[in-house]
Structure 1
Amino acid sequence: MSATLQGRPAREFPAVPRARGAGAVVMARCGFPGEEPYVREARAFVRSTLALCPALKDDLVDAATLLVSEVASNAVRHTRSGEPGGRFGVEVVHRPGAVTVAVHDEGPRPDAPGGRPAVGGFSPDAESGRGLAMVEAVSSEWHTAPMPGGRVVAFSLDPGAPADGAAADR
C-alpha cells in the first residue's frame, strides 16, 4: 500500500520508532484528507489493520483505536493538516504483543501558541482538552518529534509495560 502526505511517498514518513528483532513487522501506512470525517476513517484503518493480528487482545485494539482518534482529531483541529487541502498520515507498527501508532501532521499553524502537543490542565466540565491526557494515561509511552514538513505524534501500547505514559522528547 502506498500512501502520500503532502505529495511525499509513504516511505519518506520518518520518526516512527521501529520494532527491532524477531517478529518485527510494519503493518501499514495510509494518508487521509485533513477533515473531521476522515478521523473515523483513520480509526477504521487502525482497527482493520490490527484485525490482521489475531494474537492481539481486543482491549489493546480498542485502546489503539481510541487513541488514534484523539491524536488524529488533534491533527485536524490544531495543525495545518486541518486547513484546506491539508492531510495527515497514520502508520501502524506491530511487534509481538505490542503496537505503535504514529500520526503525521503538517505542523503547527502559524497562530498556534507553542505549536507543540502537550498535556495541559483541563476542567472536568470542559467538552474538550483531554485527548493527550488520555494518550498519556492509556499508552505505555508516547512522544512527539518534528519531521520535514510537519511532525509526528506516536504512542505505544504494550500490555507488559506500565501505562504511565512515560514519554521521550515531549
Structure 2
Amino acid sequence: MSLHPNGPNRGQVAALRWFPGHPSSVGDVRRFIANRLQYCAEPDAAILVASELASNALQHTESGNWTTGFLVMLEHTAEGALITVHDAGSASHVPYIATPPLDTERGRGLHLVDRLTESWGSQGGPAERMTWGVVRCH
C-alpha cells in the first residue's frame, strides 16, 4: 500500500464514470475498464481489481444506495493502470485484508487486490473514501 494516488506517480486520467449503487453496476465496471485497456497485454488483473473495489464500495458504504453510487477513475501510469474507486465512505468499515473462515464465500476480495496490484491503498472516512490499486499492464 505504498502508492498514493495524489503523489508524483499519478498518471493521466483515461476515463471517469459514476455508477449507481446497485449490484448490476459491478458488471458495468468490468466492461468500463475492459473497454479502456486496449493497450494492456493482460487486462484481466485490472478488471478483477476494479470489480473487487466496486463490490466493496457497494457492500460496505452508503454507495450501495442507488442514488448515491460511486465513481470509478482509470489512469495510465508508468507502472500500468491506476484504478480508483471513490465511494460514500463509512464510519464503521475501513478496508483491510481479512482472514475469513475457509467455508465462507466472502471476505477475500482485498487478498486478491493485494496479490494482483503493484500497490494499493485507501484513505477517507465516514463521508467519503478513495481506494485504489496499480496494476502492471506492460
Residue of structure 2 aligned with 1:103, choices 85, 90, 97: 85
Cα gap change, 1:26 to 1:18, in 2 (>3 Å):
farther
User: Per-residue CA shift, 1:50-78, capped at 9, x if unaligned?
Assistant: 12x2xx21x2x110001111110110111
Check the 8 A contact 2:79/2:134 in 1, yes or no. Answer: no
The residue identity in structure 1 corresponding to 2:14 is M
| Aligned counterpart, 1:72 | 54
Residue 95 of structure 1: CA displacement?
A: 2.4
| Aligned counterpart, 1:37 | 24
Residue of structure 1 aligned with 2:5, choices 6, 16, 24: 16
Cα gap change, 1:148 to 1:93, in 2 (>3 Å):
farther
Check the 8 A contact 2:13/2:74 in 1, yes or no. Answer: yes
Percentage identity across aligned positions? 30
Summarize the alignment of residues 143-154 of structure 1 with structure 2, pairs less than 5 Å apart. Answer: 143-146=121-124, 149-154=127-132
Matched residue count: 135
Residue 137 of structure 1: CA displacement?
A: 1.3
Higher relative contact order (CA 8 A, sep 6+): 2
Distance 1:97 1:116 in 2: 26
Unaligned runs of 5+ in 1: 1-14, 161-170
Distance 1:42 1:125 in 2: 28
Distance 1:67 1:19 in 2: 22
Cα gap change, 1:32 to 1:131, in 2 (>3 Å):
same
Residue 132 of structure 1: CA displacement?
A: 0.6
Residue of structure 2 aligned with 1:49, choices 33, 36, 42: 36
Check the 8 A contact 2:74/2:82 in 1, yes or no. Answer: yes
Distance 1:29 1:132 in 2: 22
Q: Of the two, which has the highest radius of gyration?
A: 1
Check the 8 A contact 1:32/1:87 in 2, yes or no. Answer: yes
The DSSP-based 3-state class of the residue aligned with 2:81 is strand
